[in-house]
């Protein structure tokens, strides 16, 4: 009897241990499947255990509110796109609001508009099906100032939950939100300490997380291009990570300063323990060689502790408000290629009218980079401008794994010398046209010395050289 009891207990213990081990392995596999810095090179993203380069071009900021979202995602996927931006914004005509209204048409910040959240769920579901990574911006300053404030659910006149006096909010904030005059972004304890409005802000973030934490393809960003106080960002970073519990999430803040070397951006750069990746979208306000050089500053700055650097917005189109500064279609395409050649983990064309969205030019750019990826992977390369000579400003950009693989991008036409001295034997040279994303020619070149590269077209081309 004792012997039978002993073996029964032993079998139960072994079974329990086996189940716990299987559970641990299942949990580990799930964590390893989520979007996270790549274990072998944390400057790039890893998803489902494999390194991935994130490329995107979409027509809305708040893509979950797009009327033809499913087909838009299909179009993006068809050209190799796997990255979208999604602000939790509701200011455009026809957008749904997050909160329900009563019979008088006033919002109740304690009740949800389920149609809004259903649209959000659909976006999460359809992107997961297509392995498209979603970068969510939780707060957008443009929703809460100027004309948009007048219809905002958080505006005291529009809800049943608080008065102007109770909320310490005014009826008008007529200036550009960059002026930072909106107390909505000062509610946290370290700033204005406004627990009444903060309570509803917390509720919104919790609701958002209820929908996102079950997914592994979501990146989080606190604000859209903010000039707000650091304490606001710190509060929400701590709040979100605490609410996420055991779920590992990737979170950052997007600062507004166009000078990405400024102290404002160092709030993120200096705190890898707080911010898991970096968004440098605002660098696309800088044109030509400066766009490249500023990015190199960032990569040098974080060299000892690399993280993925994203660019969820590339500005520039013929309808942008900054064409007088050269922020046009050519600039957008150039920036897209400079970003990826320079080591960015993601790049996405901004929505019209300030960006190209999902257009002929942006589609060609995505397709061109995916064709290059068939020959080499960008995480195999490092920016190597020192290998180019006889080069003018903004004429050509180089990345290489010296002695094996080289890539040279010509934004327009051009002719440079490439140091090929460390490559022994021969290499294949293939030219890809940026316009049309078509291979133009292929030839063989010899290593051991510098070679001349002349772009075959003046509309943008990429030279890909791989040791045979």
Query: pLDDT digit string (tens) for 245-271?
Result: 999 999 999 999 999 999 999 999 999
Sole residue written with tokens 């006033």? 106
Terminal-to-terminal C-alpha distance of the chain = 73
Instruction: Choose among 248, 252, 253: nearest CA to 215.
Output: 248
Is the Cβ–Cβ distance between 405 and 420 less than 8 Å? no
pLDDT per position as a tens digit, 413-431: 999 999 999 999 999 999 9
pLDDT per position as a tens digit, 305-333: 999 999 999 999 999 999 999 999 999 99
DSSP code for 385: G
Instruction: Choose among 418, 410, 408, 420: nearest CA to 467.
Output: 420
CA angle at 340 for the pair 268 and 286, rounded to the nearest 5°: 65
The C-alpha atoms of residue 91 and residue 113 are separated, in whole angstroms, by 15
6 pLDDT tier (thresholds 50, 70, 90): low
Mean pLDDT of the chain: 94
Q: What is the pLDDT of residue 23?
A: 52
pLDDT per position as a tens digit, 377-413: 999 999 999 999 999 999 999 999 999 999 999 999 9
What is the pTM assigned to this prediction? 0.92
Q: What is the pLDDT of residue 9?
A: 47
4 pLDDT tier (thresholds 50, 70, 90): low
Tokens at 212, concatenated = 């996102």
pLDDT per position as a tens digit, 433-450: 999 999 999 999 999 999
* pLDDT of 14 strictly over 70: no
Is the Cβ–Cβ distance between 106 and 159 less than 8 Å? yes
3 state SS for 270-326: CCCCCCCCEECHHHHHCCHHHHHHHHHHHHHHCCCCCCCEECCCECCCCCCCCHHHC
- The secondary element (H helix, E strand) that includes residue 430 is strand 426-433
Task: Name the CA dihedral angle for 377, 381, 387, 391, rounded to a multiple of 10 degrees.
Answer: 60
Task: Name the CA dihedral angle for 45, 48, 53, 54, rounded to a multiple of 10 degrees.
Answer: -90
pLDDT per position as a tens digit, 141-157: 999 999 999 999 999 99
Q: How crowded is the C-beta side of 353, counted as CA atoms within 13 Å?
A: 6
Q: Of all residues in the chain, what percent carry a pLDDT higher than 70?
A: 93
Is the Cβ–Cβ distance between 59 and 357 less than 8 Å? yes
Q: What is the pLDDT of residue 466?
A: 97
Is the Cβ–Cβ distance between 461 and 440 less than 8 Å? yes
Q: Of all residues in the chain, what percent carry a pLDDT higher than 90?
A: 93
* pLDDT of 22 strictly over 60: no
For residue 179, CA distances in Å to 229, 243, 267 come to 12, 31, 19
| Mean pLDDT for the stretch of residues 24-50 | 83
CB atoms within 10 A of CB 303: 9
The C-alpha atoms of residue 357 and residue 436 are separated, in whole angstroms, by 17
pLDDT per position as a tens digit, 53-111: 999 999 999 999 999 999 999 999 999 999 999 999 999 999 999 999 999 999 999 99
The C-alpha atoms of residue 289 and residue 282 are separated, in whole angstroms, by 15
């Amino acid at each position: 009897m004792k012997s039978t009891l002993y073996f029964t207990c032993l079998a139960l213990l072994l079974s329990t241990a086996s189940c716990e081990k299987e559970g641990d392995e299942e949990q580990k596999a799930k964590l390893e499947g989520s979007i996270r810095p790549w274990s072998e090179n944390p400057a790039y993203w890893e998803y489902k255990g494999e390194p991935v380069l994130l490329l995107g071009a979409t027509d809305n900021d708040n893509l979950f509110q797009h009327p033809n979202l499913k087909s838009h995602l299909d179009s993006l996927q068809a050209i190799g796109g796997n990255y979208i931006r999604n602000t939790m914004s509701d200011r455009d005509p026809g957008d749904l609001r997050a909160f329900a209204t009563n019979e008088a048409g006033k919002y109740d910040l304690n009740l949800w508009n389920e149609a809004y959240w259903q649209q959000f769920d659909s976006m999460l579901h359809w992107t997961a099906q297509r392995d498209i990574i979603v970068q969510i911006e939780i707060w957008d300053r443009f929703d809460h100032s100027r004309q948009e404030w007048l219809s905002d659910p958080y505006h005291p006149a529009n809800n049943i939950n608080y008065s102007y006096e109770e909320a310490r909010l005014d009826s008008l904030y007529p200036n550009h939100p960059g002026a930072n005059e909106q107390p909505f972004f000062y509610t946290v304890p370290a700033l204005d300490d406004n627990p009444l409005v903060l309570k509803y802000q917390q509720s919104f973030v919790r609701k958002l997380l209820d929908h996102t934490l079950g997914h592994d393809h979501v990146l989080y960003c606190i604000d859209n291009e903010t000039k707000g106080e650091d304490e606001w960002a710190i509060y929400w970073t701590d709040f979100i990570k605490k609410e996420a519990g055991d779920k590992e999430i990737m979170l950052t803040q997007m600062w507004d300063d166009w000078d990405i070397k400024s102290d404002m951006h160092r709030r993120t750069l200096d705190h890898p323990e707080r911010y898991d990746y970096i968004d440098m979208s605002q660098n696309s306000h800088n044109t030509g060689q400066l766009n490249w050089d500023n990015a190199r500053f960032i990569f040098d700055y974080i060299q000892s502790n690399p993280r993925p650097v994203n660019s969820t917005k590339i500005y520039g189109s013929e309808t942008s408000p900054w064409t007088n500064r050269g922020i046009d279609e050519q600039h957008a395409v150039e920036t897209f290629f400079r970003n990826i050649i320079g080591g960015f983990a993601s790049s996405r064309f901004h929505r019209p009218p300030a960006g190209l969205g999902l257009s002929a030019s942006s589609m060609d750019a995505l397709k061109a980079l995916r064709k290059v990826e068939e020959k080499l992977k960008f995480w195999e390369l490092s920016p190597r401008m020192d290998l180019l000579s006889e080069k003018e400003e903004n004429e050509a950009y180089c990345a290489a794994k010296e002695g094996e693989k080289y890539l040279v991008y010509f934004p327009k036409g051009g002719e440079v010398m490439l140091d090929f001295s460390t490559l022994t034997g021969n290499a294949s040279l293939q030219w890809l046209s940026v316009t049309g994303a078509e291979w133009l020619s292929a030839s063989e070149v010899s290593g051991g010395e510098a070679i001349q590269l002349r772009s075959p077209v003046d509309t943008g081309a990429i030279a890909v050289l791989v040791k045979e």
